[in-house]
Amino acid sequence: MGWLDRERTIAPPGFNRWLVPPAALAVHLCIGQAYATSVYKTALVKHFGASLTEIGVIFSIAIVMLGLSAAIMGTWVDKNGPRKAMFTSAVFWASGFLVGSLGIFSGQLWLVYLGYGFIGGIGLGIGYISPVSTLIKWFPDRPGLATGMAIMGFGGGALIASPVSTALLKMYDPNSGAKGWVASGDSVGKLFLTLAVVYLAYMMFGAFTIKVPAEGWKPAGFDPAKVKAATLVTTDNVSAKNAVKTRQFWLVWIALFCNVTAGIGILEQAAPMIQDFFRQSDGVSLVSAAVAAGFVGLLSIGNMSGRFAWSATSDVTGRKRIYMMYLGVGAVLYTVLALAGSTSTFLYVALAFVIISFYGGGFATVPAYLRDLFGTFQVGAIHGRLLTAWSAAGIAGPLIVNAFLDAQGKPGQLTAASYQPALLTMVGLLVIGFVANLLVKPVDARFHEPRPDRVRSEEPAMEA
């Protein structure tokens, strides 16, 4: 397997760096399917005779494994390079679908947990972080733009997988024309087999297109000293082992956790929430199910576009400032949503759209933020460890919202006022995140890796 080694992927002179973003996108668009599981959720409930919660566990295992594998395998990814990491991710992701389909065909739910959840989840984690450090090295002049393009793919993957999966289920199920149709287990199994083949091919395209820059390469006209003078950027490096010992790592962890928890609060409840916000006194909502589905689609667009637009903007504003916007402006928008969101559907939709764009932006900007603080040396591994904040938020967000809503009443009876405690709790979280981000300062020089060209005692103080 030496042909997958980092040494074999060093770009020759004249290699066009704009080939790297589509390679990264190919992987992220595939693993982004994880957000399109709702397409076959009901079919699996019926097929296995299981509860929604039991089927929901498949997705939960996958997300937990994403965080764990990103944290554990981050150093391995940095050491072995993006090609081997993408190849490994593709094998795990496709194998997850294959084992999952075996579970569906044989009626064994535990095999779906093992396949899609456990094995596929490992593919998710490795795939998510695999192109990040390479992109940052190819685009030292625009790291936010580069990581934004790739991580946008994770948001965009569901936009593709959702309609394609629906079309395939209809094609595979002879009863698809029936009234009140729910896809058969057999058709979901065939869908899994198809996705395994297609995703394997796509991710292999990414793996064999990506290349790492040669040592010392930099884009024409790029002056690192200029970047350092403009923002909170170091030219030193911190190892992943040392990074987790710094206050900065945990402050950014808190900022990301708060931003993601607040975003998930809306995303998880998007469709019922807009209907509840505009429920009249007779119990009927002004917002139909079709309109609510359109709202969910709009949030997906906001999530995806925010990843690209805000992360690219952070190259101009600086990472700390844009996180202040995500968390500070986000807290204000959340407050307006909680207190005045029910006055107008336009206001409600506009607020939710911007809030979700901040949620996506937080994900896409954080690799560049880590690059600024810890250098490029092991930024992939550090990013992997930071993604545990995502796993934690994935548990905390729904727990907070559901706990408050359960106390307010039953689904179908809730109103805008029922959401206020949950939304105002999210405002509190965003304020905590804002303060954490405000406290981020340059990393102390004692955590820096030694540089051959410099004696440690002569190192200059870091700039803010």
Please report, as ranges, the residues that interact with other proteins according to CB under 8 A: 14-16, 18-19, 22-23, 25-26, 29, 153, 156, 158-163, 202, 205, 209, 290-291, 293-298, 300-301, 304, 349
Task: Report in angstroms how near the CB of residue 389 gets to other proteins at its nearest.
Answer: 27
Task: Report in angstroms how near the CB of residue 434 gets to other proteins at its nearest.
Answer: 31
Task: Report in angstroms how near the CB of residue 165 gets to other proteins at its nearest.
Answer: 11
Residue 16 vs 53, nearer CB to other proteins: 16
Distance between CA atoms of residues 57 and 61, nearest Å: 6
Whether the CB-CB separation of 1 and 116 falls below 8 Å is answered with no
Task: Report in angstroms how near the CB of residue 366 gets to other proteins at its nearest.
Answer: 22
How remote is the C-alpha of 407 from its chain's centroid?
Answer: 30
Residue 287 vs 331, nearer CB to other proteins: 287
Distance between CA atoms of residues 226 and 329, nearest Å: 29
Residue 25 vs 427, nearer CB to other proteins: 25
From the list 88, 61, 93, 65, the residue with the least C-alpha distance to 196 is 93
Task: Report in angstroms how near the CB of residue 157 gets to other proteins at its nearest.
Answer: 8
CA angle (35, 36, 42) in 5-degree steps? 125
From the list 127, 117, 116, 122, the residue with the least C-alpha distance to 30 is 127
Whether the CB-CB separation of 249 and 458 falls below 8 Å is answered with no
Task: Report in angstroms how near the CB of residue 167 gets to other proteins at its nearest.
Answer: 10
Helix (H, G, I), strand (E, B) or coil at 448: strand
Axis-axis angle for helices 185-209, 143-172 (nearest 10): 150
Residue 352 vs 389, nearer CB to other proteins: 352
How remote is the C-alpha of 4 from its chain's centroid?
Answer: 26
Residue 195 vs 400, nearer CB to other proteins: 195
Residue 242 vs 300, nearer CB to other proteins: 300
Task: Report in angstroms how near the CB of residue 291 gets to other proteins at its nearest.
Answer: 5
Whether the CB-CB separation of 188 and 43 falls below 8 Å is answered with yes
From the list 21, 115, 7, 124, the residue with the least C-alpha distance to 71 is 124
